[in-house]
Structure 1
Amino acid sequence: MNSVFTRFSTVAVLIFLATLSRILPHPFNFTPIGAIALFGAAQFSRKVYAFMIPMVAMLLSDVLIGSPSLPTYVSFVIISAFGLFFLKKVTYGRVVVASLVASISFFLITNFFVWFQGSMYPQTWAGLVACYTAGLAFYQQTFWGNLFLNTVMGDFFYNAVLFGSYYGIQRLTFKPSMA
């Protein structure tokens, strides 16, 4: 079988499966969004797919969920772009750092949009600081846990599942033959 096709389909299927997990019951903010962006960026050999496949997967799940969000898509694209550069060489340490960067970026980008598009905060530096400060309330404990920590844990969990599954499949599929 063509190994390029197998690699592409393996990555695409893992991304679609992770995306489907968005429709299952889960703690708030414990989602695969950041991990999908990083995994696609690290694994697709044609980098246009690093943006296209995860974006299509998100659009499909948003049709079911009914809550598309421009800030989420913008953060998704920025996290993918970061992953393209940072995860050229995939190591455990780089995936951990990229997961943290993805979680923090999501927080910064989505709260920036709240400030920029909304009327809750003045369009000044002080207003932006107030918006981010109010966003820190997501660090507070809630019924489902700490919402920002849920984002970090979701990114760690889904990166472990995606990267781990991919490398496990690759090892099983492309074992050197003993001749």
Structure 2
Amino acid sequence: MSLKNLNPRFSLLLLFILAGGMLRILGEGQVTPYSNVTPIGAMALFAGAYFNSSWKSYVFPLLTLFISDVIVQQVFYPEFAQGQLLYQGWAWTYLGFAAMVLAGQLIIKKVNIGNIVIAAAVAAVAHWLITDFGVWLGGCTDPSTGQLYTKDANGLLRCYAMAVPYMKYMFIGNVVYGAIFFGGFELIGSRIYEVRSMK
């Protein structure tokens, strides 16, 4: 395929997704002071809202998340890698990420502030419920007690309660980076017809 045949809209979408992956890596590397406020949720919502092919909505952001995860794990947290590419319980994280893409597909039919904020909240809650269920199921330790979460309703609720601050950071990241991603794309689309119109 020649450069002339490249779809400008699709290329710009990919550029935004890749930027999300880079920002995530820079945050984990403490290049930015906001490592807990990540762009991955906004990246998922953005992909769900804009990619016209359902499989592209999932494949490209998931692939970007995977590459950034491998870099973060191997470069910044090798002590947790234990010879593996990814961290323990990664499948639950990816399931939560896919749920955020779905939130973008279902809620952001029309790009406006209200829909983005609602989707950001739904995505943060979905990610929290799914990933921390995986944390509880995987037999992780309660950081406040040093003991394993008990395998009952109390243990699950305790696990969820301990993760509430991270859900808050996820929501903030969804809103802040969502404003950048959606606002930037809409601004470019308003100026470049090919970005606005092409599928």
Give me the TM-score of the superposition, normalised by structure 1.
0.83
Superposed, 1:47-58 pairs within 5 Å as: 47-58=54-65
Runs of 4+ in 1 over 6 A off after TM superposition: none
Q: Conserved in 1, the CA contact under 8 Å of 2:99 and 2:127?
A: no
* Distance (Å, rounded) in 2 between the aligned partners of 1:164 and 1:64: 28
Give the structure 2 partner of residue 113 of structure 1: 134
Once the two structures are aligned, what percentage of the paired residues are identical? 32
Give the structure 2 partner of residue 81 of structure 1: 102
* Distance (Å, rounded) in 2 between the aligned partners of 1:150 and 1:126: 24
1:49-102 Cα offsets, whole Å, 9 max, x none, are 000000111112122212643332111111111221112222220001111111
* Distance (Å, rounded) in 1 between the aligned partners of 2:23 and 2:118: 23
Gaps of 5+ in 1: 139-146
Give the structure 1 partner of residue 154 of structure 2: 126
* Distance (Å, rounded) in 2 between the aligned partners of 1:134 and 1:59: 25
Q: Conserved in 2, the CA contact under 8 Å of 1:37 and 1:77?
A: yes
Gaps of 5+ in 2: 78-85, 141-147, 195-199
Deviates more, 1:120-129 or 1:50-59: 120-129
Give the structure 2 partner of residue 91 of structure 1: 112
Give the aligned CA root-mean-square deviation in angstroms: 2.2
Give me the TM-score of the superposition, normalised by structure 2.
0.75
1:72 to 87, 90, 93: 93
1:166 to 171, 177, 185: 185
Q: How many residues align?
A: 166
